[in-house]
Amino acid sequence: MKEFFLSLKRTPYQSLAIFLVLFFTLFLSTTLFISLSFFHGILGYVETRPQVTVYFQTNIEESQIFKIKDELINSNKVLNIKYISQKEAFKIYKELNKDNPLLLEMVSAEILPPSLEIYAKKPIFLPEIAEFLKKQPGVDEVVFQKDIVNRLISLTKILRYASFIFFIFLILMTIIILVAVLSFKIALKKDEIHLLRLLGATKTYIRKPFLQEAFIFGLVSAIASFVILLIIIFYFYPFLQSYLRGIPVLTINLNFYQLTVWPINYLFLAISFLISAFFGIIISVFSTFIALNKYLE
């Protein structure tokens, strides 16, 4: 630690430049990571919404609807099915048009169709379910949001690729700038490095204090960028709450674990910080390693 503060004192501008470069890289990367996680969460949420709604003719027997419902459940492609009877449909209609008495007068429960809201396990089952329903007797109309889901999936794909390219560019740029700045810093110690080599110090021994300094820079930059990000997140929390109203929970699937993204979850924040700190340390240490090699040969 003494060596670290001594180095800060000796090269304050270079140290500040290293900190700022790392800070902005980690801030952008973590913002990107959190945004993508939210986007994935939203996509996951949309995927499990009622994706197929089937409206039946008004004269259909309830038993026939239940038969179709059972068949769908047995198909293993459906997560959940909600039956909306004529009476319930009328209740919903009344709620939606409570401010328009004229519309309420014109409609009764008998003219509204009973329906099933079907939640598919995966979006790829949507067309199959829709085709099956269209063939059933008493079906009036089948509506499903294939287009919306497909658009979201392709948008996520584009975002993922764009973020990946941006991230790689950001990392490369950061490493190049860091190597340049670190070379100035290390050049001030080139006599000491040369002397240590002549005295028989191993490359690892010489690298150690520089890598320790790089570790501290990576960690401190990650902490600083994450604190700023947390302040921003909590500042906009009320806005997010109103924007995501009606969405109780957003999760991302990590294969072995469903990680909650929304409402703000401390585990998700901790994972985001750990990833940010890991990248910060790796970038900083790697850049130092490259910058040092020139003086160790």
Partner 1 sequence: MITFDKVIKKFPLGNIALEDISFTIEDKEFVFIVGPSGAGKTTILKLISRELTPNSGTIIVDEFDLSQKKFPQLEKLRRKIGIIFQDFKILIDKNVFENIALALEIFPLTKKKIKEEVKKSLSLVGLTNKEQLFPLQLSAGELQRVAIARAIVGNRKIILADEPTGNLDPKTSWEIMKIFKKIESEKTIIFATHNIDIVNSLKKRVIVLKKGKLVKDLRKGKYEI
CB of 3 to partner 1, least distance (A): 11
Say if residues 217 and 284 touch (Cβ distance below 8 Å): yes
Binding residue count for partner 1, defined by CB under 8 A: 12
CB of 206 to partner 1, least distance (A): 9
Task: Please identify, using beta-carbon distances, which residue of 198 and 254 lies nearer to partner 1.
Answer: 198
The contacts found for 103-111 with CB under 8 angstroms, 24 or more apart, are: 110/58, 110/86, 111/58
Task: Please identify, using beta-carbon distances, which residue of 143 and 188 lies nearer to partner 1.
Answer: 188
Give the max Cα distance, the chain. 98
* Residue 1 binds partner 1, judged by CB under 8 A: no
Say if residues 123 and 47 touch (Cβ distance below 8 Å): yes
Task: Please identify, using beta-carbon distances, which residue of 5 and 278 lies nearer to partner 1.
Answer: 5
Per-residue binding string, partner 1, 142-181, x by CB under 8 A, is: ----------------------------------------
Task: Please identify, using beta-carbon distances, which residue of 102 and 198 lies nearer to partner 1.
Answer: 198
Provide CB contacts within 8 A for 196, sequence distance 6+: 205, 206
Task: Please identify, using beta-carbon distances, which residue of 67 and 190 lies nearer to partner 1.
Answer: 190
CB of 291 to partner 1, least distance (A): 20
Give, as ranges, the residues between 9 and 38 that touch partner 1 (CB under 8 A).
10
**Nearest-angstrom CA–CA distance, 50 and 118:** 5
CB of 155 to partner 1, least distance (A): 55
Q: Which residues is 42 bridged to in the sheet?
A: none
CB of 13 to partner 1, least distance (A): 18
Task: Please identify, using beta-carbon distances, which residue of 12 and 263 lies nearer to partner 1.
Answer: 12
* Start-end of H helices in the chain: 2-10, 12-47, 62-74, 86-96, 101-106, 126-134, 146-187, 190-199, 203-235, 237-243, 266-296
**Nearest-angstrom CA–CA distance, 257 and 293:** 42
Task: Please identify, using beta-carbon distances, which residue of 147 and 297 lies nearer to partner 1.
Answer: 297
Say if residues 60 and 136 touch (Cβ distance below 8 Å): no
CB of 6 to partner 1, least distance (A): 8
Task: Note the residue count of the chain.
Answer: 297
Give, as ranges, the residues between 50 and 89 that touch partner 1 (CB under 8 A).
none
Give, as ranges, the residues between 183 and 212 that touch partner 1 (CB under 8 A).
191-192, 195-202, 205
- Residue in this structure with the two tokens 């409206």, named with its chain if needed: 55
**Nearest-angstrom CA–CA distance, 81 and 51:** 10
CB of 167 to partner 1, least distance (A): 39
Q: Which residues contact partner 1 by CB under 8 A?
A: 10, 191-192, 195-202, 205
